[in-house]
């Protein structure tokens, strides 16, 4: 009995220690303020490789602070407009500098969100060609999500969940 109580006591202490450590890390790990360098590098490669296929893209969004995310979340909910995101501040990979959004840029400078058009006339949708290049580079595409589909969205999670990021886990810088 005494041994069991002893073991229990240690287990409780260890759990308390674990929770405190987690909270500590959560509170003391600053939020990123810009796009992760590896993501930025791959964004540039994506733009170049798409251009080489005759497709010009623009990055319409990359790093987004938690406050900006909250403002976006309000759109179509407490503010006017249509819903553009399903996540609040701190819940998007954009908030950790790990996501970008793209759109197509036409020759006349117009920016379009068109999944069908084939301006380089190779029989393939330009949008999906960009998505394929992005996937080769290691991006995950929001169009593949079940439920809410986010077609312009590309992210690199480095194996980290939003919850782990919220608790202060960060991908390596290199």
Binding site for Zn ion (CB under 5 A): 99, 101, 153
State the nearest-atom distance from the C-beta of 94 to Zn ion, in Å: 6
Shortest reach from residue 99's CB to Zn ion, in Å? 5
**For residues 62 and 129, which CB has a smaller minimum distance to Zn ion in the complex?**
62
Closer Cβ to Zn ion, 101 or 129, answer by number: 101
Residue 27 CB, nearest distance to Zn ion (Å)?
27
Report CA 116 to chain centroid distance, whole Å.
24
Q: Which is nearer to Zn ion, 47 or 99 (by Cβ)?
A: 99
CB of 154 to Zn ion, least distance (A): 7
Burial class of residue 61 in the structure, from the number of CB atoms within 10 Å of its CB (0-12 exposed, 13-18 middle, 19+ buried): middle
The phi and psi torsions of 166 (rounded to 5 degrees) equal -65, -30
Nearer to Zn ion, 101 or 126 (CB): 101
Nearer to Zn ion, 46 or 99 (CB): 99
Determine how β-strand 140-141 pairs with β-strand 57-61.
unpaired
Minimum distance from residue 92 beta carbon to Zn ion (Å): 7
């Amino acid at each position: 009995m005494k041994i069991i109580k002893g073991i229990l006591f240690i287990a409780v202490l260890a759990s308390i220690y674990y929770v405190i450590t987690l909270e500590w890390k959560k509170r003391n790990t600053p939020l990123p303020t810009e796009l992760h360098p590896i993501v930025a590098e791959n964004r540039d490669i994506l733009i170049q490789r798409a251009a080489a296929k005759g497709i010009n893209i623009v990055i319409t969004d990359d790093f987004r602070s938690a406050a900006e995310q909250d403002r976006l979340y309000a759109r179509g909910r407490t503010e006017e407009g249509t819903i553009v995101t399903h996540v609040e501040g701190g819940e998007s990979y954009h908030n950790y500098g790990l996501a970008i959004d793209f759109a197509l840029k036409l020759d006349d400078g117009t920016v379009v969100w068109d999944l069908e058009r084939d301006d380089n006339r190779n029989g393939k949708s330009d949008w999906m060609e960009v998505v394929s290049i992005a996937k080769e580079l290691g991006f995950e595409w929001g169009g593949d999500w079940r439920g809410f589909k986010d077609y312009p969205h590309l992210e690199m999670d480095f194996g980290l969940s939003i919850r782990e990021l919220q608790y202060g886990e960060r991908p390596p810088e290199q």
